[in-house]
Structure 1
């Protein structure tokens, strides 16, 4: 009697273990199938091995995007994505895959500044050209934001009023990526410095964006003299400096300058892509 009870208990435990193994296998198969299906739904291909890159398995332009079953890479063909039309210009492209090209032209009365064409690489499309619109204004887009450059010299306070009158602010630069792009645009219009919306007029030494954005990034010129230094030498006179330029004399790094003595262009920023 006792022997039969032990036998029945052992048989029950064996069945239980078997069911766990089967369940785990079913889960693994279904999970692997799901992963593989997700790869195919993203127009990818499951790699044939775990230790070879997608680029080597399928050719240039293929990158890993998640996993298939058995930890094999899910490989997808890199796409640069769509390109928004440049303001006051036109664009045609051959596709969005690696090696595709986009070609640009400007409307009558505007001058193309930058490369006439760009190629899709693993880093994307790269910087797009602009249609230079002076003596009116130049408009360009970056990461969902619209910028304009009024083509005339302004003191900082006048530049601030101009941007606000258009529905924007002097530009607030929040990331290195944005800063590098604005420096790229600045170099397409050489010989000009640009006001941005940073100042310490309220509290000396405490720089704040006019737009009330947080100051999370800076690109002060490292001298000599190291910026900010709270002074501007103007016709051998020294003036207090509270407003900030992308200074062409310093390769468009930042410097603080007197707000009402140095004439410069301005970069206005609008918080969405607008048609001007």
Structure 2
């Protein structure tokens, strides 16, 4: 995946929420609008290291983010994938987010905003699902 029209705040090292979670059933990720996955792009890891999704059901990695940079155990530097890949992450992690909405003419338009922006009603104090739903309504 690549961003065709990067917005202010976009940086390759940032991570982005995309509106999917496995909070209902561990390991069964679903979009917040309940549509089924027709595509996946999980980070494949390096050997068995960092292969996604990697939540054991106890670590609260229930939300889906896009990212390029993945940690490795010391003394190895972080790995950088060639493109954005999917990663399960704790929903309370402060990330940017990507929203999808219908544009005029009925076509789908993707855009993203910064969670800490003063121009949005989304705040980190709200529940992750509430932030995602607000994103979808905006």
Once residues 131 and 222 of structure 1 are traced to their aligned partners in structure 2, the CA distance between those partners, rounded to angstroms, is 25
- Structure 1 counterpart of 2:5, from 123, 127, 130: 130
Task: Give the aligned CA root-mean-square deviation in angstroms.
Answer: 2.8
The answer for the alignment partner of 1:270 in structure 2 is 101
Query: What number of residue pairs does the alignment pair up?
Result: 89
Aligned to 1:245: 65
- For residue 129 of structure 1, report the CA deviation from its aligned partner: 5.1
Q: 1:196 to 1:270 in 2, by over 3 A?
A: same
For 2:84 and 2:102, the matched residues in 1 are separated by 23
Relative to its length, the structure with more helix (as a share) is 1
Aligned to 1:204: 26
Residue 229 (structure 1) aligned with residue 54 (structure 2):
yes
The ranges of structure 1 where at least 4 consecutive aligned residues each deviate by more than 6 angstroms after the TM superposition are: none
Question: 1:189 offset after TM fit, Å?
Answer: 2.9
Q: Give the greater-gyration-radius structure (CA).
A: 1
- TM-score, length of structure 1 as denominator length: 0.29
- CA gap of 1:214–1:271, structure 2 versus 1, over 3 A, is farther
Gaps of 5+ in 2: 70-80, 110-137
Task: Indicate the structure whose relative CO is greater, using CA pairs within 8 Å and at least 6 residues apart.
Answer: 2
Q: 2:42 aligns with which of 208, 220, 223?
A: 220
- Alignment gaps of 5+ in structure 1: 1-126, 135-150, 152-187, 232-237
Aligned to 1:254: 86
Write out per-residue CA displacement over residues 116-156 of structure 1, whole angstroms, 9 at most, x where no aligned residue.
xxxxxxxxxxx995263x3xxxxxxxxxxxxxxxx5xxxxx
Change beyond 3 A, Cα 1:189–1:207: same
Question: Quick one: structure 1 residues 129 and 199, their matched pair in 2 at CA, closer, same or farther if it must change by over 3 Å?
Answer: closer
Q: Hey, what's the Cα distance between the residues in 1 that align with 2:67 and 2:59?
A: 17
